[in-house]
Structure 1
Amino acid sequence: MASHHLNFTKAALLKAPPAAKGRDYYYDEREKGLVMAVTGTGTKTFYLYKRIEGRPERLMLGRFPDMTVEQARKRAVTAKGEIATGANPQKERRAIRDEMTFGDLFSEYLEKYSKVHKRSWQYDEREVNRFLSRWFKRKISSFDRVEIERLHAKIGKENGTTQANRLLERIRSIFNKAIEWGWQGNNPAVGIKKFKEKSRDRFLQPDELPRFFEALANEPNETARDFFMISLLTGARKSNTLAMRWRDINFSTATWRIEETKNGEAQTIHLPAQAIEILTARKLASESPWVFEGSGTSGHLADPKKAWKRILTEAGIEDLRIHDLRRTLGSYQAATGANGYIIGKSLGHKSQQSTAIYARLNLDPVRESVNKATDAMFGYVGASIDE
């Protein structure tokens, strides 16, 4: 066993070799008590060494490099804060070691992690209950990799490879949290390869646009009809458009401010003339804070699948999803000369390479690009009528 003191960086910790005997310990010079232990097989784990209720305790934080140095430091600070207030994180972790059922673990995962950190936590709740409810009474140590692989293959065959991959990610995340919270077992989903997913590039083609607009005009559900049109004209994500609020719309500047998008940042969306016309009409008749009012618990429109199916059937269009309306706007922006940065800005995309450039863009070139794209789409309708 050897011990080392150094300033933790990713590069330095990656160089740490497997322990020759037992475990080697590396102590962070920046965050007191933060330690990385390295086993003979090369497994690297962050711990916090701290006295709790008068006795020295070793609190497991997570595995490196899945947990970054900065994440480990932040978690160590958080744990120290809990200890300072009289809490004992080890008691909670020992409860995990006492062999929870998968159902109990998922409840913990949902309340302590998913609902706190994920905007899409409802999908975790829905999909786990749909596919894994038969596991709820089983001890978490009873699962092995072969069983998870078989389930992944079965879901892939019956429900599609994308569905199977998302479920595998959820299972892996749930067991990772159990380990982070003190369970000493191995994650049975680690090492299982996901199915290759084909990148989807579907959008409304020029010959489909006239049929789509005609079917949309004939849709009896006015709220759903306007929702689909606004989705197409703004390219916004479905969840953001469903939850669109009047207070976020500025009719003077023709903009819509989304306070928090999927990437965790705010976004300002240009509203072309066609969108302003729709929204103005809805505003005059609305008494709700939501643009697309609904009768559900959220107060706004839920996923309008039935209306979408009616529109596609009448238009004779196949294999088109609501999300493809977002891709349609981007495609027609590209067709009318917009570059990738402008399209990314208008759709709220985020990447390390383009973030700096996005920050320097104002809304004017985005506005021009969206206007050109929407005019081009409606131009196909006019061309069809002339023919």
Structure 2
Amino acid sequence: MPNKLTKSVVDHAHPADRDYFLWDSDLKGFGIKISKGGRKTYVCKYRVGAGRSAPTRRYTIGAHGSPWTVDQARAEARRILGRAANGEDPAQEKQDEKKQITVTQLCDLYLEHGTGTKKPSTVATDRGRIKRHIKPLLGKKKVRDVTRADIKRFLQDVSNGKTSADVKTGLRGRAIVRGGKGAATRTVGLLGGIFSYAIDCGLIETNPVHGVKRFPDRKGERYLNQNELVRLGQALQLGLVTGINPQAIAILKLLMFTGMRKREIETLRWSEVDSDRGYLRLEDSKTGQKSVPLSAPARQVISEIPALEGSTFVFPAFRGNGFYEGTPKVWKKIRKMAGIEDVRLHDLRHSFASVAVSGGASLPLIGSLLGHKDVATTHRYAHLYDDPVRAASEAVGAQLDAFMAVAAVRK
């Protein structure tokens, strides 16, 4: 039954297993939509024309909170309903206006409403690519006017470094944007998702990114060989002796021994360490909850880490209640000591996978170790099977050659 919408009524409206509406008893047609995700949006509905057979329109006013309070939304609804009573169609006008939005406006809508299933770290990466590449090159174009030729030109421009920049961010920070083929390919991939969102919103009918051939994305194809792994181990030991932060050393070792992502190790909590069974039970990760088995070297590393009283993190920050985030800085020192300055932190994860492949582990098993949900993600390591296959071929060939040699002697 309708009630007058007040701040108290709206604040106490809790999400259900499906979207629902609360309608105001004082102003017919004014209400608020409560989504199952908890979002609260003011709306108003009206008929276009006279009579019950006239089509109904629903106009979205805005989300509850800043800037829309109940009273402000009610005043806006009264204005919209007044226009509708005079024969106008504000909802259709708004829809037509939306179809004229620029790529910049579309990106802002996407970041606000189209990233609900993405991790905060992924959204932060998207935001950076939008700010540094998409908006400077395509931001002023109308969404409906973007063509496949524009996307091809965008791909080449980012690849050629047209958006490269060295920008000061804050007191000490810097954002160095270089562009390149990898950045171009990944940003065009993001553009494909943004234009798919535009299709879902009814802004366009076709995706201009479809059919655009991108550069092969060769990110993450750097693997440490046996000699480099030995040098890295020596550098880590030398780092401890020379006074490099032991927390960072421990994090680097766990990255090597588990194949986990940097953020998963840095944010690790003691409550997630199952020492009895030799597992890490992550409450959250890029792919959700997961369990990571610990090898003997990994268990040894964790057993040597002292727990700091008052902190839930395995690797607490020096100040405050957060976690340690200085690993990248230490990694630069360690990789220089090891003579592997082209290796990224994430390459330790790929090197873990390459060693697993060389040991004969199957792709599904490797995917399970790395926490992949998509088989296609693990498939990037398929080409590494060439090494164990070659080794097997050599072993079989050597054995057959030995048999033949024995046969020749017997003759």
State TM-score, norm by structure 1.
0.61
1:172 is aligned to 192
Matched AA of 1:248: E
* SS, match of residue 208 in structure 1: helix
1:107 is aligned to 108
2:382 is aligned to none
Matched AA of 1:131: H
Matched AA of 1:236: M
8 Å CA contact retained: 1:238, 1:323: yes
* Structure 2 counterparts to residues 21-170 of structure 1, below 5 A: 53=46, 55-56=54-55, 94=95, 97=98, 99-114=100-115, 116-119=116-119, 120-134=122-136, 135-136=138-139, 138-158=141-161, 159-170=179-190
The verdict on how the C-alpha distance between 1:293 and 1:95 changes in structure 2, with shifts beyond 3 A counting, is: farther
2:202 is aligned to 182
Pick from 198, 207, 217 the counterpart of residue 197 of structure 1: 217
Q: Which has the higher contact order (CA 8 A, sep 6+)?
A: 1
Aligned length: 274
Matched AA of 2:273: I
Deviation at 1:233, TM superposition (A): 0.9
1:244 is aligned to 268
8 Å CA contact retained: 2:182, 2:218: no
| Unpaired stretches in structure 2, ≥5 consecutive residues | 1-44, 48-53, 59-90, 162-178, 379-411
2:352 is aligned to 329
8 Å CA contact retained: 1:227, 1:241: yes
The verdict on how the C-alpha distance between 1:346 and 1:217 changes in structure 2, with shifts beyond 3 A counting, is: same
Deviation at 1:301, TM superposition (A): 3.7
Matched AA of 1:254: G
1:79 is aligned to none
8 Å CA contact retained: 1:93, 1:181: no
2:294 is aligned to 271
- Rounded to whole Å, the distance in 1 between the matches of 2:184 and 2:326 is 22
Deviation at 1:352, TM superposition (A): 6.0
1:227 is aligned to 251
Matched AA of 1:315: A
8 Å CA contact retained: 2:259, 2:352: yes
* SS, match of residue 123 in structure 1: helix
The verdict on how the C-alpha distance between 1:340 and 1:256 changes in structure 2, with shifts beyond 3 A counting, is: same
- Rounded to whole Å, the distance in 2 between the matches of 1:217 and 1:341 is 34
1:62 is aligned to none
8 Å CA contact retained: 1:258, 1:267: yes
Deviation at 1:213, TM superposition (A): 1.4
Deviation at 1:342, TM superposition (A): 3.2
Is 1:206–2:229 an aligned residue pair? Answer: no
The verdict on how the C-alpha distance between 1:321 and 1:221 changes in structure 2, with shifts beyond 3 A counting, is: same
8 Å CA contact retained: 2:262, 2:345: yes
Deviation at 1:344, TM superposition (A): 2.9
- Rounded to whole Å, the distance in 2 between the matches of 1:191 and 1:106 is 21
Matched AA of 2:264: N
- Rounded to whole Å, the distance in 1 between the matches of 2:133 and 2:320 is 25
The verdict on how the C-alpha distance between 1:215 and 1:57 changes in structure 2, with shifts beyond 3 A counting, is: farther
Matched AA of 1:190: H
Is 1:291–2:293 an aligned residue pair? Answer: no
Deviation at 1:118, TM superposition (A): 0.7
Deviation at 1:247, TM superposition (A): 1.4
Once the two structures are aligned, what percentage of the paired residues are identical? 29
Residues 208-255 of structure 1: CA deviation (Å, up to 9, x unaligned): 222211222344133322211111111112332232222111111121
The verdict on how the C-alpha distance between 1:130 and 1:348 changes in structure 2, with shifts beyond 3 A counting, is: same
Matched AA of 1:305: P
Residues 295-339 of structure 1: CA deviation (Å, up to 9, x unaligned): 799933447332222111111114322222122223333344444
Matched AA of 2:300: E
Deviation at 1:261, TM superposition (A): 3.8
Matched AA of 1:168: V
1:320 is aligned to 343
- Rounded to whole Å, the distance in 2 between the matches of 1:142 and 1:296 is 51
Residues 344-379 of structure 1: CA deviation (Å, up to 9, x unaligned): 322223456999xxxxxxxxxxxxxxxxxxxxxxxx
- Rounded to whole Å, the distance in 2 between the matches of 1:298 and 1:95 is 50
- Rounded to whole Å, the distance in 2 between the matches of 1:217 and 1:287 is 29
Decide which moves more: 179-188 or 315-324.
Answer: 179-188
- Rounded to whole Å, the distance in 2 between the matches of 1:267 and 1:294 is 24
8 Å CA contact retained: 2:144, 2:204: no
| Unpaired stretches in structure 1, ≥5 consecutive residues | 1-51, 60-89, 356-387
- Rounded to whole Å, the distance in 2 between the matches of 1:353 and 1:325 is 20
